[in-house]
Amino acid sequence: MDEFIKLLDNELKYLTHQIIDDTVYIHIASTREEVKCPFCGHMSSQTHSTYERSFQDLPIQEKKVKIIINNRKMFCNNTNCDHTTFAERFNWLAHKSKKTQRLEDEIVRLSLNCSSIAAARFLSENTVAVGKSTVCNL
Ligand SMILES: [Zn+2]
């Protein structure tokens, strides 16, 4: 399972997983030692706290995949920065997004040749929970 997670980002580690009904829940954490403040670009290695953030990823073995990351909140020590803390961000997961970039790309790829309703139906049958409006937005 760690290899699946490393395909998403080499600086992630697999912690544990559970399979409940048609969904695989994978718990992960970031192993990045320094995290860049998105507001000022200053690097920080001081963790303030962690919180759980969950999002959907590509299906595995016809099961939906929900990833739960122990997302870190870091201190920004740059005295010129307007923010004292910030959440770690990832280039494969848009800010506040509930889906990975690679899953969004797959939804777009499948949707290009059919209507959003047909795409949503097809994706749901193929173990990605997605609605028509999400397909349209993407
Ligand atoms: Zn900063």
Asked if the model's pLDDT at residue 126 lies above 70, the reply is no
Find the 116 Cα to ligand 1 centroid distance in Å.
40
Q: Using one digit for the tens of pLDDT, what is the confidence trace for 12-43?
A: 999 999 999 999 999 999 999 999 999 999 99
Confidence class for position 135, pLDDT limits 50, 70, 90: low
Find the 74 Cα to ligand 1 centroid distance in Å.
10
Q: Using one digit for the tens of pLDDT, what is the confidence trace for 54-93?
A: 999 998 888 999 999 999 999 999 999 999 999 999 999 9
Find the 96 Cα to ligand 1 centroid distance in Å.
19
Nearest by Cα to 70 from 57, 53, 48, 92:
53
Nearest by Cα to 78 from 47, 109, 113, 36:
36
Asked if the model's pLDDT at residue 113 lies above 90, the reply is no
Find the 94 Cα to ligand 1 centroid distance in Å.
19
The reported pLDDT for the residue numbered 6 is 93
Dist. CA 23–CA 74, nearest whole Å:
31
- The DSSP bridge partners found for residue 73 are 49, 87
Give the DSSP H or E segment for 101: helix 101-111
Find the 82 Cα to ligand 1 centroid distance in Å.
7
Whether the Cβ atoms of residue 120 and residue 104 lie closer than 8 Å to each other: no
